[in-house]
Amino acid sequence: MPLINNLYFRFRNFFSTRWPQTYGFCDRRKSIVKFIIAGCFSGGSDLVFLFIFHGLIGWKIVLSTSVAFILSFMVSFTLQKFWTFRNFSQKKVIGQLVLYFMVAFVGLNLNGFLMHVLVTDYNIWYLLAQFVVNLFIGFLNFLAYRFIVFGAPKYEIISEEKTIS
């Protein structure tokens, strides 16, 4: 996580000095921005793992895809839990992992269903359909992760006695 945090802070400092208004807009929505960055990073890790296992090591495609999926799933879970949603509790990690997997499984099935409907029933170009479906499922995943898997964010109320003058 220190590597990810270091990259994030460097990018944030660069972005805030170059485009302060855009940075302010994104900063107010930082969990959404982090969700997207973590999703891109875990998706990229899936491709890298697949290339390593199939392209470099020479494993069969099904085994390579399966192992790459499991590893990128763990990357995704770790980034979303600890970095995006700042949930550092270790007490419910197994339950959260199971819920996270269930959300991913529902998303996979919803993806197949929506792609079938959009491409075959409405004749939408398959790449455009996948883009729209990914946006929709990403939105649903964000809500599920934030409010179900990792819980709603808890804001600490600071009383006047605790404030430093």
Q: For the segment 6-60, what is each residue's pLDDT rounded down to a tens digit?
A: 887 888 888 889 999 988 888 888 899 999 999 999 999 999 999 999 999 999 9
Q: pLDDT value at position 154? A: 56
159/146: higher pLDDT: 146
How many Å apart are CA 113 and CA 16, to the nearest integer?
41
How many Å apart are CA 156 and CA 1, to the nearest integer?
24
How many Å apart are CA 120 and CA 135, to the nearest integer?
19
| Interval 123-148: pLDDT, tens | 999 999 999 999 999 999 999 999 99
Q: pLDDT value at position 100? A: 96
- Residue 67: how many other CB atoms lie within 10 Å: 17
**pTM exceeds 0.85 for this model:** no
How many Å apart are CA 114 and CA 121, to the nearest integer?
10
Question: What's the rounded mean pLDDT across residues 82-105?
Answer: 93
